[in-house]
Amino acid sequence: GAVVSQHPSRVICKSGTSVKIECRSLDFQATTMFWYRQFPKQSLMLMATSNEGSKATYEQGVEKDKFLINHASLTLSTLTVTSAHPEDSSFYICSGGGIGGDTQYFGPGTRLTVL
Amino acid sequence: ILNVEQSPQSLHVQEGDSTNFTCSFPSSNFYALHWYRWETAKSPEALFVMTLNGDEKKKGRISATLNTKEGYSYLYIKGSQPEDSATYLCAFPSSNTGKLIFGQGTTLQVKP
């Protein structure tokens, strides 16, 4: 199957700082990537759809100014959590592919802890 | 609001036991049903994408069935092994855009 990498795997930061998470498709081109978030004991929840060369589409309740998404190439999407606060502490995971209901290929995720 | 439910939430079985779990999803506007296996510290791995009512798919000792009319899918594992220990997720695309709605998962632990 296709491979997606995610970096960093774990980050601890102070409240108020910004954190950038990278999602790369290593062996396929992804015009669309998806960003999910998982809080403890909850489902993976879609945050936004990242589209190469255009603006991301955010799900209801997700602040676009707080979670900045950039999809500058067919293999890289980045999620920047701006001015992170403890309530942003969560597990963030990206995926590529999946158009038309097809298989999505996931990265290994990033554990963000905001102190 | 579309909802995907999985049961049970967790399962402990002995090596060699066969087991199954359930995913319930909305039966209207069906596009596909995905099953993923998620081992700790790894990426979720796609198991099956199921699209046709009555479909049955198999991958080694793991198989899945689909009933789109009543909105459920079963995942079966025959002769569970410790390496099958993982969280099994089902997901329902809410449209053909690829947006997935996930269930909470069933965490399986297989004891040697």
pLDDT score of B37: 97
* Total residue length of chain B: 112
Q: Is B31 on the interface with A (CB under 8 A)?
A: yes
pLDDT score of A37: 97
Contact B34 A104 (CB under 8 A): yes
Tokens of B57: 């798919």
pLDDT score of B48: 95
Nearest by CB to residue A98, choosing from B45, B98, B102, is B98
Average pLDDT in chain A? 93
Residue indicated by tokens 């905001």: A114
Q: What is the interface size between A and B, counted as CB pairs within 8 Å?
A: 65
Q: Is B41 on the interface with A (CB under 8 A)?
A: yes
A87-103: average pLDDT: 87
Q: Residues with Cβ < 8 Å from A79, sequence gap 6 or more?
A: A20, A21, A23, A35, A47, A48, A67, A68, A69, A92, A94
Contact criterion met (CB below 8 Å) for B9 and B22: no
Residue type, B76: Y
Contact criterion met (CB below 8 Å) for B11 and B106: yes
pLDDT score of B23: 97
pLDDT tens per residue, range B94-106: 776 778 999 999 9
pLDDT tens per residue, range B38-95: 999 999 999 999 999 999 999 999 999 999 999 999 999 999 999 999 999 999 887 7
Chain B: nearest CA to A87, how far in angstroms?
21
The B72-77 sheet, strands edge to edge: B5-7, B19-24, B72-77, B62-67, B56-59
Residue type, B74: Y
Question: Residue B3 pLDDT more than 90?
Answer: no
Which residues from chain B sit within 8 angstroms of residue A36, using beta carbons?
A: 102
Closest alpha carbon to B2 in B37, B44, B31, B45: B31
Nearest by CB to residue A103, choosing from B4, B46, B103, is B46
pLDDT score of A103: 87
Question: Residue A98 pLDDT more than 80?
Answer: no
Question: Residue A100 pLDDT more than 80?
Answer: no
Question: Residue A101 pLDDT more than 70?
Answer: no
Nearest by CB to residue B42, choosing from A36, A41, A108, is A108
Measure the CA angle with vertex A33, ends B105 and A35; round to 5°: 50
pLDDT band, very low/low/confident/very high, at B1 (cuts 50, 70, 90) = low
pLDDT score of B27: 85
The Cβ of residue B42 has, within 10 Å, a number of other Cβ atoms equal to 12
pLDDT tens per residue, range A15-69: 999 999 999 999 999 889 999 999 988 999 999 999 888 899 999 999 999 999 9
Closest alpha carbon to B14 in B84, B75, B87: B84
